[in-house]
Amino acid sequence: MFGRMKQPKRVFVLVDWENILVNMNLPPAERFSLASGFDRILKKIAEEVGEIVNVFVFVPSHLALTWGEEFHRLGLFVVLCPKVRDKKTGEEQDTVDQTLIDFGRKAIAQTRELTHLCLFSGDKDFGPFLREAIQKRLKIIIASGNLTSLSGELIGLADRKPSGGKMVYLFSPTGEE
């Protein structure tokens, strides 16, 4: 009579903004709407999967100046990832991927009620991190700027929707499919 209560589905979202920005199909400026893009994709994920717990957007310094205020207005948390100089070569190195991975690992370890991890990136470098999340019993959702830039490895790691098809979504800054 009394079955086990179904655990609510809770989605934790990590966004590699530079990857999405570089790989999305940019519309003309008059049709571009960051708010529409995020509203549409997050609403779709919430409807099809479950509650969006938090959204963290990882951005290098130069993009934080351009996009940070709008992310803040949208209620998204911005994580600044400055470029750092390699001690041996003196070359600037990007810190977005490693910061996102380190942050994601800590969040997964500290937040027991998560059921899904959503990664906005098409970068195959995130494969090992997603495999760790899978081993922690999280379902994987992928969002990308376009299918061409999306790693086949990440598509393979994405879970299936109950209705069929992979949990893969495209970010569109017009709010259109």
**pLDDT on residue 162:** 79
Q: How far apart are CA 174 and CA 60, in angstroms?
A: 23
CB 170, CB 146: distance < 8 Å: yes
Residue with the bigger pLDDT between 147 and 2: it is 147
In DSSP notation, 136-165 reads TT-EEEEEES-STTS-HHHHHHSPBPTTSS
Q: How far apart are CA 23 and CA 146, in angstroms?
A: 6
Residue 50: strand, helix, or coil:
coil
pLDDT digit string, tens, across residues 35-79: 999 999 999 999 999 999 999 999 999 899 889 999 999 999 999
Question: What rounded mean pLDDT belongs to the chain?
Answer: 90
**pLDDT on residue 176:** 65
Q: How confident is the model at residue 15 (pLDDT cuts 50, 70, 90)?
A: very high
**pLDDT on residue 25:** 78
Residues 6+ apart with CB under 8 A from 11: 45, 46, 49, 50, 51, 52, 53, 114, 115, 116, 117, 118, 141
In DSSP notation, 61-90 reads HHHHHHHHHHHHHTTPEEEE---EE-TTT-
Residues of the chain with pLDDT > 90: what percent?
Answer: 68
Full set of structural domains in the chain with CATH: 10-170 (3.40.50.1010)
pLDDT digit string, tens, across residues 71-123: 999 999 999 999 898 888 888 899 999 999 999 999 999 887 899 999 999 99
**pLDDT on residue 4:** 57
Chain Cα centroid distance, residue 172: 14
Dihedral, 144, 117, 154, 18 alpha carbons, nearest 10:
40
